[in-house]
Amino acid sequence: MCGALAPGEVIREMALEDLDEVIEIEQLSFVSPWTRRLFEETLGSSISTSFVVKRGGLTVGYIILYSVESEAHILNIAVHPEYRRKGYGASLINHVVDHFKARRVTEFFLEVREGNTGAISLYSRYGFEKIGKRKKYYTETNEDAVVMRLSLPG
């Protein structure tokens, strides 16, 4: 898998002080962005794990997952528009797969807008497979979601 970070770039756990930059990325990335309160609640959840990718101290992307036993669900992943197609999304995926593999997670799930072909292509490169569809999952646009799963040897 690709997605190696350059010098001066790091992936670390998300903290409350990252939220201003994370929320900016969220608002630039999604039709219905998460609220600050939702980010705060997720950060405080015992089943949540969140990471940011930093470039010279600037947050350029993030990923948020819930995990229970052998399953992890990617809730949210985004990269700032100015830093897309530079490997940051791939780096985040690599990081969480390695992180959770060490914790015996063998399956990852996510939903992605059916029209988001760039994201679907990225996830497919990492072994995610389409396993279903949720009709009108995105209520603000009535767009369907593609459900994808990555299964690791257990």
Which of the residues 24, 111, 114, 143 is marked catalytic?
A: 111
What are the C-alpha distances in Å from 139 to residues 22, 32, 39, 84?
23, 9, 20, 26
Residue 111 is among the residues annotated as catalytic for this protein? yes
pLDDT digits (tens, 9 = 90+) for 39-87: 999 999 999 999 999 998 999 999 999 999 999 999 999 999 999 989 9
- Domain 9-151 matching CATH 3.40.630.30: the answer reads yes
Mean pLDDT of 99-108: 93
Out of 21, 26, 62, 123, which one is annotated catalytic?
123
Q: Compute the distance between CA of residue 64 and CA of residue 39 in angstroms, rounded to an integer.
A: 9
Instruction: Answer whether residue 142 shows pLDDT above 90.
Output: no
Rounded CA Rg of the chain: 15
Whether pTM exceeds 0.75: yes
pLDDT higher than 60, residue 107: yes
CB 96 within 8 A of CB 65: yes
